[in-house]
Amino acid sequence: MTGHVIAYMIFAIFVGLLIVQPDFGQTALVVLTFGTMLLIYGIPWIVVLGLAGLCASGVMAAYALVPHVTSRIDRFLNPDKGDTFQVDTATAAFHNGGLLGTGPGGGQAKQILPDAHTDFTFAVVGEEFGLIACIGLMLLFAFVVMRILQRAKIVPDPFPAIALSGLGIVFGLQAVINMGVNVSLLPAKGMTLPLISYGGSSLIGVAFAMGMVLAFSRRQPHVSLASTTWQPIAT
């Protein structure tokens, strides 16, 4: 029980620091990842529902009290309420790319979009390499996440199993959020596409996370992973 309290305290501090910045996109990413890890751990559903209620209240409070959050959500729900230049340009890039794309260097989006090298890299890929390349990229992300979760399932120690699950989930969710924004399925949020967007702190963070994945999933010479599976606690 002490471990649970410490985990909740660290989570609350981390989320609080993100909100103070404010960075609600990363906050949502962390909250979703933490909630999924709790489900994998086997926490009672009543606690999960309580945390979900708190998160929903936080979203409504952010919408009511933080102007830029209100603006982004309003523009997502009703594009006529504000400037949607970036999202509109990204959508046009996908239309321009079609099935096979305009070819490397043949796109126009990267010359117009201010964040074409980071937040809207997926739109540039869609314009220059087409729908097929976008689908291939999505399948590649899905493959990486599934391999991480598959490894987490057979790791005998619960700590690396849950850690691997969290690392795989945060990797996949970041990719989903970035691609969702690019195709106008999610409100605009400055979040990079893992290992694809231009470097900097994001690339360093993802590389560090993948290094941890390799460390947690390495085979132990004295343990047969094929014959040992970890099960979540009973609730």
pLDDT tens digit sequence for 93-126? 898 888 888 888 888 888 888 878 888 889 999 9
98: left (phi over 0), alpha (psi -120 to 50) or beta: left
Cβ atoms of 216 and 164 closer than 8 Å: yes
Helix (H/G/I), strand (E/B), else coil: 187: coil
What is the rounded distance in angstroms from the CA atom of residue 106 to the CA atom of residue 207?
A: 30
pTM comes to 0.81
Q: Using alpha carbons, select from 151, 89, 141 the residue that is nearest to residue 115.
A: 89
Residue 109 to residues 4, 26, 88, 180, 214, Cα–Cα distance (Å): 47, 26, 10, 17, 36
Q: What's the mean pLDDT in 169-181?
A: 91
What is the rounded distance in angstroms from the CA atom of residue 106 to the CA atom of residue 109?
A: 9
Band of residue 181 on the pLDDT scale cut at 50, 70, 90: confident
Q: Say if residue 82's pLDDT is above 70.
A: no
